[in-house]
Amino acid sequence: MPAIFGDHMVMQQGTSLPIWGEADPGERVTVKFVGQQAMTTARKDRQWRVNLQTVYLRSSPDVLMVDGKNHLEFSDVIMGDVWLCSGQSNMAFPLREADGGETAIIHAEDGQLRFFVVPEKQAFQPQHQMEGSWERCSPEAAAGFSAIGYFFGRDLRMATGMPVGLIGSYCGGSSAQAWMSLPALQQSPSFSHYLAEYYQGARDFSKNQDTYSQRKMDYEQELAAWEEQVGTPYQEELATWKLKCKEACSKLWAQPLKPDPLSQKPTPPLPPDGGVTAPTLLFNAMIAPLIPYAMTGVIWYQGESNENRKSQHSWMAQFENNSVDSTVFSVFEYRRLFQRLIRSWRVAWGEGPFPFYFVSLAGFRKSTFDPVEMLMDDEGGLNPCWAWLREGQAVALSLPETGMAVATDIGNPNDIHPKDKLDVGRRLALLARKNLYGQQVVASGPTYCSMKQEEKKIRLTFNDVGKGLTVAAPPWRYDGTIVMPLSLQGFAIAGDDRHWYDAVALIEGSDIIVSSEFVLKPTAVRYNWKDNPTGNLYNKEGLPAASFRTDLDQPK
C-alpha cells in the first residue's frame, strides 16, 4: 500500500474513505476498519481499491487491517480533518528557521496534530508508491515541517478542537506547471509549449543524462573560480554593510544601499529530467501517489518561479537544437495555469470543489519610486511583475471554495523567503475557520469592490472592512523596525493617458477617496502595484488589503 497508509495516520472524518494498494492479479483483498468490512479483487494491472462508508470523529484511536496473501495492520489511526500543504520554498520553509520558531517548537507537543512529508522527487509517469511516514506532533517532528503548515494546523486545533493531519508535499523552486498532470495540460491548447517541453524532455532524457556529468563538472570549476574572485570579497563587503545597517537603525539614519556582487553566481545545470520546473514531474511523483486519499482541502504557496522572465518556463533552452518555444511570458498565463491546476486536482480527487486556500506573494526586492511597476523597463527588458502575478492568483477566487491570504505586507526586500510564517499560517487558518467551519471571524482584509469618479477625485468602495478601514503597520518587519504610519500609502492614480502618479488617499467611512494634483480627470487607480509594495491599508482586525486595479487595461 502507499506510504500514506501507516501507523499514526489521520483519516478524513465525515466522508467515504478510499483505501487502495497493489496485489497480485486476482488476489482477494479484505479491508477492516471500525466495524466495517469491504472486499475486492486486484485487477490485471495489480491495482485494487475499496471505499469504506463515512466514519465520524471518535474518542479513541482505531486499527486499520488489510488482508490478502499477507496481513497489514496500521495502529493509532485517528479521525480528523486532513489538509494538503503544497507549493514551493515558502511553503517548504521549516519551522526551525521561522521567526518565533524556536519558541513554537518548545510547545509543539500535540498527539492530535500529525504530519506526513512527501519526499522531493520527479517522475515522467504518475507513480503509485512513495516513501514517508506519519508522525505525531512533537518538538522534533514540528521543527522540520512547514512553518506555515504548522501554524495553520495549530490555529485550527485551537479554534475547533478537531484532530488535524497535515500532508507536506512541497518543493523549493518549483513551478506551477510541474505540479500539474499531463491530462490537465493537454486540455488547453495555450499550454502546448509545456507539452512540447515535456515530450522533448522524455525523449532526450538518456542523452541529457550522458552529458550531465560533464556539465556538472564545468559548473563546479566555474563556481570555485567565482567564489575566489567574487564570492568571498562580496561576503566581507556584505558583513560590513550589515554592521552599518545596525548603526543606522540605532541612530535612526537612512539604511545604506545594499552592495551587489561584481558578477552573478554561476547557475548549476539542471538534472537530466529537467528538475523542479519541468512540466508534470512533481505531480507524477509527489501528488499522484496521494490520490485519492480523502482530505478536507489544500493550502498553497507558490508563484515565485512563474515570475515574468522570457523563457523562464523552458529549461530546454540550455540544450542545442531544442524545438521548444521559449517566448511565453509566464505572468500572463499564470491566471489560466493556476485555475487549471485547482480544477485538475479537484477532478483527480473526485471529491468535488474542496477548499483551496492560497497565499498572495509576499513583497520582495527593493521598492522603486515609480507609482506602479510596468511590464517592461526603460531599456526594453522584462520586469518580474509580481503585481500581475498576484492578480493571476486572485483571478482564481472566481472558482468556488477558494480563498486568498495576503502576505504583501510581511515580505523582505533582501530575501525571497521572509521569516514571518506565523501570520501567513494564521491568515490561511482564518479562511478555513470562516468558510469551512462557519465561525464568526473576519477572514480577509479590505477587498476592492467598486469605483466612482467625483470631479477630480475617485471614490473606492470595499468589502470585508470588518470593524472599519484603518492605516496600520505590518505585524512583522525583516529589520525589526516598526514605525506607525500617519497616512495611507501605496495608491496610484491616472487619467485616460495612463500616466501614473502617487495619490493622496483618505479614509471616509468604508470608502477611500483618492486624488492627485497632477491628474485633473482621474479614471483609474491601482494599489500596491509593485513587487515590494508599501501600501498600509488594513481593516481594524489587522488584515491587509490585497493589491488591486480599477482599470481593465492589458498588461503593460
Same domain for 399 and 496: no
- For 88-126, strand residue ranges (E) read 110-117
98-102 — which CB contacts under 8 Å span 24+ positions? 98/147, 98/419, 98/420, 98/421, 98/422, 99/419, 99/420, 99/421, 99/422, 99/476, 100/422, 101/143, 101/147, 101/421
Tens-place pLDDT, residues 493-523:
999 999 999 999 999 999 999 999 999 999 9
Same domain for 427 and 492: no
Cite the DSSP H helix spans in 350-463.
386-394, 422-435
Instruction: Report yes or no on 481 lying in a domain.
Output: yes
Same domain for 421 and 495: no
Tens-place pLDDT, residues 236-268:
998 999 898 888 888 878 878 888 888 989 988
Instruction: Report how far residue 511's alpha carbon sits from residue 238's, in angstroms, rounded to the nearest whole number.
Output: 44
Sheet containing 504-508: order of strands = 447-454, 457-463, 511-515, 504-508
Q: Structural domain tally of the chain?
A: 2
Same domain for 461 and 423: no
Supply the pLDDT for residue 309.
63
Same domain for 324 and 179: yes
Instruction: Report yes or no on 205 lying in a domain.
Output: no
Same domain for 465 and 379: no
Instruction: Report yes or no on 507 lying in a domain.
Output: yes
Tens-place pLDDT, residues 274-326:
999 999 999 999 999 999 999 999 999 999 999 876 544 344 444 445 544 44
- CB distance 462 to 442 below 8 Å: no
Last residue within a domain, chosen from 405, 435, 465: 435
Residues of the chain short of pLDDT 50, as ranges, are 311-320, 323-328
Helix axes 147-160, 422-435, angle to 10 degrees: 40
Last residue within a domain, chosen from 384, 410, 435: 435
The CATH number linked to 422 is: 3.40.50.1110
For residue 435, give every residue at least 6 positions away whose Cβ sits within 8 Å of its Cβ, in sequence order, or none.
355, 401, 403, 443
Supply the pLDDT for residue 319.
45
For residue 543, give every residue at least 6 positions away whose Cβ sits within 8 Å of its Cβ, in sequence order, or none.
406, 427, 430, 442, 443, 444, 445, 464, 466
Helix axes 330-349, 386-394, angle to 10 degrees: 30
Encoded amino acid at 247, one letter: E
Q: Phi-psi category of 542—alpha, beta or left, where left has phi over 0 and alpha has psi -120 to 50? A: left
Instruction: Report yes or no on 239 lying in a domain.
Output: no
Q: By C-alpha distance, which of 416, 411, 233, 435 is closest to 307?
A: 416
What is the residue range of 519's domain? 447-549
Last residue within a domain, chosen from 375, 401, 435: 435
Instruction: Report yes or no on 39 lying in a domain.
Output: no
For residue 9, give every residue at least 6 positions away whose Cβ sits within 8 Å of its Cβ, in sequence order, or none.
74, 77, 78, 114, 116, 134, 165
> Which grid cell sits at 456?
477630480
Same domain for 385 and 281: yes
Supply the pLDDT for residue 250.
82
Same domain for 452 and 419: no
Same domain for 473 and 505: yes
Same domain for 407 and 296: yes
Instruction: Report yes or no on 232 lying in a domain.
Output: no
Instruction: Report yes or no on 223 lying in a domain.
Output: no
Supply the pLDDT for residue 256.
86
Same domain for 466 and 348: no
Angle at 93 between CA 83 and CA 383, to 5 degrees: 105
Q: Phi-psi category of 352—alpha, beta or left, where left has phi over 0 and alpha has psi -120 to 50? A: left
Instruction: Report yes or no on 353 lying in a domain.
Output: yes
Same domain for 178 and 146: yes
